[in-house]
Structure 1
Amino acid sequence: MPKSILWLRTCILLLCLILIGCGNAQTNTTQEKLEKNALNYASFVKKLQAVGVSGTKADAQNSDFFSGTPYGLLIKGERVSIFEYLTSEDAQNEAKRISSQGDIIQKSSSGSAVIDWVAPPHFYRSGRLIVLYVGNKQPVISLLQSILGPQFAGGV
């Protein structure tokens, strides 16, 4: 095989490898941008403020069931627990452990916890957050839905 053809094939192979590498870098950059813009605790609080609601800091409840960083807010006089995760994928994986009715939470290593809530639980997931409201105040439910979207588990 002539050296010129071998040289041409080598150049084409190198060019392909460079393009593949650039494609992966672009995908990673896009994913990083999406993750950076994913809803987190600080942006959740800003969205509350944008609609004229100020949340008062409170203790997060039920934090022993979740691995995310716990935050608590009193919103319209009702306690809301917020769990923030490093990535949206982490939040999504954690959400999969919650039954559709919100009464069973699979433990990460073994067994599950069956919970008898004092009021209907409402679980929301958006971006890097899982938000839990245990109650039945429609203004709070409507507010959370407007910011986080429909609940993924819990009572009606």
Structure 2
Amino acid sequence: MRKLDNHIVIFIAAIFIITVLAGGCSRENNTKSSFSIEQFENAMKDKGYNFEIKDVRQDFLNATRKRMMIDNKAIDIYLFSNDKEMENEASHIDSGGCGYNNGSKAVNVSWVSFPHFYKRGSIIVQYIGDDEKIMSDLKDILSEQFAGYTPK
């Protein structure tokens, strides 16, 4: 009888370990894809920025768009339902950040300054400008830009 009890204990422990490991993996994936506008705002506040968030109309990307105003500088934030949808839209932006083509819609843009596109989770962040602190902080928060002008 004691041998049977040991097998049951080992079986239950194995199920517990598998459950914990599987749960840990799914939480990691959810965290990676759940980076939100609120987290972006908090990260920008942590970097010392004071800003206002405004609703703006949708433009070339098929997403809800918000605008973060830092003094007279604008950062557009595109909100997608999930990271897969965001990645799909990001793939249509050319590497220079001046073109978008999804096969049925094509747009070429002449920006007033240098374009910079960043992505994380289910958001794309677009900054048009040359403020080195903003670009550095966006890189710290969101990772390397995936499209746009890269200073030499």
Percent of residue pairs bearing the same amino acid type? 26
**Quick one: distance in 2 between partners of 1:60 and 1:146?**
25
Which ranges of structure 2 fall in alignment gaps of 5 or more residues?
Answer: 1-14
CA displacement at 1:73 relative to structure 2: 0.5
How many residues in Structure 1 have an aligned counterpart in Structure 2? 131
What CA RMSD, in Å, does the superposition of the two structures yield over aligned residues? 2.4
TM-score norm. by structure 1 comes to 0.72
Matched, 1:87 2:82: yes
Give, in angstroms, the shift of residue 32 of structure 1.
6.3
Q: Which 4+ residue blocks in structure 1 deviate beyond 3 angstroms?
A: 29-33, 58-61
1:97 equivalenced with 2:92 (yes/no): yes
Q: In structure 1, the residue corresponding to 2:59 is in which secondary structure?
A: helix
State the TM-score, normalized to the length of structure 2: 0.74
8 Å Cα contact 1:60/1:73 also seen in 2: no
- 2:92, 2:109 → 1: CA distance? 13
User: What SS does the corresponding residue of 2:94 show, helix, strand or coil?
Assistant: coil
Give the gaps of 5 or more residues in structure 1: 1-18
Rounded to whole Å, the distance in 2 between the matches of 1:126 and 1:86 is 13
**Which residues in structure 2 correspond to 1:20-35 (within 5 Å)?**
26=22, 30-31=25-26, 34-35=29-30
Structure 2 letter corresponding to 1:53: Y
Q: Which residue number in structure 2 is paired with residue 45 of structure 1?
A: 41
Alpha-carbon spacing, 1:56–1:111, altered in 2? closer, same or farther (3 Å) = closer
**Equivalent residue, structure 2, for 1:122:** 116
